[in-house]
Structure 1
């Protein structure tokens, strides 16, 4: 598809935890709207904003291809200490913990389906990068259990799917020194998000290791030299074992957060893959059988 003018506008929604800002990216009025995506940026649950490239560049690129994108300005957890210097724009966290951001992402998906944005309710996908990938994956689990209209698909870029980082393969272990993440840093980040050091009590906090039956088709896009790749790979395997249609791709030569670097070949390739996933007719599978008895999952979530 050729490039079209993208219309960008902020909206304030009455979210489940107060005012919730979203940024809507729409193709030109005369352009075909082929799909919709609710998107959550990364930032270790405590950083990031709608202006970072992982949010804005990704959304503009997809809107150029006919995808309406709703980027979620979810509330952030408190800053932990110490934290890595953060590149580019940022905003102050509101200091909330789980489940606030997760529930906000779920809420926006439902809002987008009925918002009159020119995309059929059944054509909206749900996605995110890094911590935003966690929020999207957890939201997909919550939406499944709520019994409402599911996302068309789930798109996860280098997600934080597990509370504890799965052991890396020998191949990945030889590359992880090129990335700043390590298991201790991830454990600290996750504890900060939850507000305690122990394991999560809700299946929606970290979907890895949960009952994943009946989830929508899922695309997991991992970075090659990223310690979190072990989580993305393990989550994709869990999805497949649960009977979920899943596509797993490792973007060669990339580091964690490569969607923040649109000047790199890996980021350009990843955007092309994402566009294909969201827009190509007949590529995405279908949602299959959901658990018949959700009593245990729902009880754990309370």
Structure 2
């Protein structure tokens, strides 16, 4: 049988990350991650500094989407996620703003959270209408986006009109049974690696149950409407299910879409037809809310 797009992707992931081991430097992993996630694509970004943080815009429109990139709080950048930002901007007809927050272990929690809130606060201060503003992120970036909502609410800042979470990693306690049931199907987020990222991010003695580190543990009442997209083969599928349960219990309007056979943050891989479909659905959601 001919290779499927997923077969080709899994082979590409193995070629890029399969040799990583104890001797692999963090710089090498960061470079490999950027190459894998960007797929060699480059987005046309308009760089500037916002709230003291290096940032970049893509797309055009009245609405604004603040995007938090993934990478386990240790990897990822505007380079790795610029193409996804551009895809979302085109699908939604909005401007997308991404930013390079400080990474662990050089800068542990709450450095990334502080940077995200600084950018959000600066957006509002520049005159961005929160009714035309949404926030989104993938993997750790989704956790950062959700945590930013909690911090913004605690400061009394206006909240955006909507939130979108792609393959969200929002539970640093790693309680989901999907870490075991999907272990053989998701090459990017094995439980041992996830727990190692938790230690690197929080540092020795850090509390993975802290609601501002694991925002699914926070009080979600009053947060904006949420859309969650996740793959059925993801080890972090349980995070999405827990977020859905707790958001609904808090009275938040939330929709969860589980994509059959998809792996972690599949939207960054344009060779997958499901990636385009997911981005199209997310774009339609954002058009209705802020477009």
Give the TM-score range, shorter chain.
0.7 to 0.9
* Number of residue pairs aligned between Structure 1 and Structure 2: 247
Residue 112 of structure 1: which of 107, 123, 146 is its match?
A: 123
- Which aligned pairs between 1:1-302 and structure 2 lie closer than 5 A? 8-15=45-52, 20-27=53-60, 33-52=61-80, 55-64=81-90, 65-78=92-105, 95-115=106-126, 120-168=129-177, 174-180=181-187, 181-200=189-208, 202-280=210-288
Give 1:161 shift.
0.7
Rounded Cα–Cα distance in structure 1 between residues aligned with 2:143 and 2:290: 26
Give 1:105 shift.
1.2
Question: For the structure 1 residues 281 and 144, does the alpha-carbon distance in structure 2 shift closer, same or farther, using more than 3 Å as the test?
Answer: closer
1:136-194 Cα offsets, whole Å, 9 max, x none, are 0111111111111101111111111112122326xx85443111323332222112111
Rounded Cα–Cα distance in structure 2 between residues aligned with 1:282 and 1:103: 25
SS of equivalent residue, structure 1 residue 208:
helix
Give 1:44 shift.
1.0
The 8 Å contact of residues 186 and 234 in structure 2, kept in 1 or not, is answered as yes
SS of equivalent residue, structure 1 residue 243:
coil
Rounded Cα–Cα distance in structure 2 between residues aligned with 1:176 and 1:157: 19
Give 1:110 shift.
2.4
RMSD, aligned CA? 2.2
SS of equivalent residue, structure 1 residue 184:
helix
Aligned to 2:19: none
Moved >4 Å (runs of 4+)? none
Task: Between the two structures, name the one with larger relative contact order (CA 8 Å, sep ≥ 6).
Answer: 2
TM-score scaled by length of structure 1: 0.76
1:67-101 Cα offsets, whole Å, 9 max, x none, are 110011111102xxxxxxxxxxxxxxxx1011111
Q: Which piece of structure 1 moves more, 6-15 or 228-237? A: 6-15
SS of equivalent residue, structure 2 residue 122:
helix
Structure 2 stretches lacking a partner, 5+ long = 1-42
Question: For the structure 1 residues 110 and 187, does the alpha-carbon distance in structure 2 shift closer, same or farther, using more than 3 Å as the test?
Answer: same
Give 1:198 shift.
4.5
Question: For the structure 1 residues 282 and 257, does the alpha-carbon distance in structure 2 shift closer, same or farther, using more than 3 Å as the test?
Answer: closer
Question: For the structure 1 residues 137 and 281, does the alpha-carbon distance in structure 2 shift closer, same or farther, using more than 3 Å as the test?
Answer: closer
Question: For the structure 1 residues 191 and 216, does the alpha-carbon distance in structure 2 shift closer, same or farther, using more than 3 Å as the test?
Answer: same
Q: Which piece of structure 1 moves more, 256-265 or 6-15? A: 6-15
Give 1:233 shift.
1.1
Structure 1 stretches lacking a partner, 5+ long = 1-5, 28-32, 79-94, 284-302
